[in-house]
Amino acid sequence: MRGMAKGARFLVLAVLSALMLTPLAWAMAASLRPPEVPFALGNVFFASHLSLANYEKALSLAPFARYYLNTFMQVGMIIGVQLLTASLAAFAFARYRFAGDTILFTLILLQMMIPTAALLVPNFSTIRFLGLYDTIPGIALPFFGSAFATFLLRQSFLSLPRDLGDAAAIDGCRWDQELRHIYLPNATSSLAAIVLSSLSFHWNDFLWPLVITQSDSVRPLTAGLVRFTQMGEIGAQWGLLSAATMIVTLPLFALFLVFQKQFVRGYVSSGIK
C-alpha cells in the first residue's frame, strides 16, 4: 500500500509538472517553427523542420542588448539596496527589543498584502515629482524596501542562538560587525532565496516598467516585448513573439535550475512550510 501511495503521488506530480510545462513547450516549439509554416489545427507542436529564423528576426527588430543591460542595471540596483535595507531592519527586529517593535513589524508585513497595481498611481506621481520619469532609478526606487526580504531574514536571524551575539558584544564587536561576521554568514540560504525571488519578480515585472518608461534606452526586457505586440497590421506572428519571449525568459529559467536547491533551502530555513 505504501508503494502504491508513493506511485500515485509521483503520477499526480508528473501530470501537474507536464501541465505547467506545456505553455513553455508550446512557446519553444512555436519559436523554432519556420515562419512560412502555418499553425494548422492538430499540427501545433510539430513542423516539417526546425528553424532559427524567428530568433534572427526578433534580434534584428529589437535592441535586446540594450534591454538586457537595462534589466541587469535595474535588477542589480533593486537587489543591492533590498539586501542592505532588509538586513538592517531584520537585524534590528531580531536582535533588539524596543517600544512598538511588534506593531512596526506587523505594519511592514501588511505591505505584502497590498497589490502592486494599487500603488501604481501614487508611485507614478512620486516618481514624476522627483524628476525620475523614464530613468532606471525611477523604475527601481519603489522597490528599495522589501517586507518579504525583511521577514525572511528576521526568521533566519531568530534561528541563531542569542548567545552568539552576546559573546561578540562582550568581545567588543560593534553592531555592524556583529551583523557582518555572525548573522549574515549564517543566513546565506535566506539571502540566496531573497536574491532569486527578487530577481524573478523584477525580471518578469511588466506593468510598472511599461508605465514609467517611454524610450528603449531605459526599458527592460519585458517592456521591450511590447514592440512585438504592436505588429497587428501584419497579423499575429506567434513564432516571432514566442522567440522574443524565449530570449527574455530562458536565462532566468536556466538560473533557477542552477540555484534551485539554494532557493528551496532558504524557504525551509526561514520556517515557511
Q: Is the pLDDT of residue 273 over 50?
A: no
Q: How much is the pLDDT for 53?
A: 86
**Comparing 31-40, 58-67, 108-117, 152-161, which segment has the lowest mean pLDDT?**
31-40
Beta carbons of 139 and 213 less than 8 angstroms apart: yes
First to last CA, the chain: 27
pLDDT in tens, 195-207: 888 888 898 888 8
Identity of the residue numbered 2: R
Q: Which CATH architecture has domain 65-225+242-269?
A: Orthogonal Bundle (1.10)
Domain-wise residue ranges, the chain: 65-225+242-269
Sequence-ordered list of residues with C-beta below 8 angstroms from that of 152, at least 6 positions apart, any chain = 86, 90, 190, 193, 194, 266, 267, 270, 272
Q: How much is the pLDDT for 168?
A: 81
Q: What is the DSSP string of 131-171?
A: T-TTSHHHHHGGGSS-HHHHHHHHHHHHTS-HHHHHHHHHT
H helix intervals, the chain: 2-31, 53-61, 64-95, 101-110, 120-129, 136-140, 147-158, 162-170, 175-178, 188-204, 207-212, 221-224, 226-229, 238-258, 260-269
Tell me which of 70 and 8 has the higher pLDDT. Answer: 70
What are the backbone angles phi and psi of residue 141, rounded to the nearest 5°? -55, -45
* Entry pTM: 0.82
Q: Is the pLDDT of residue 128 over 60?
A: yes
| Model confidence band, residue 46 (pLDDT cutoffs 50, 70, 90) | low
Q: Is the pLDDT of residue 48 over 60?
A: yes
Mean of the per-residue pLDDT values of the chain? 84
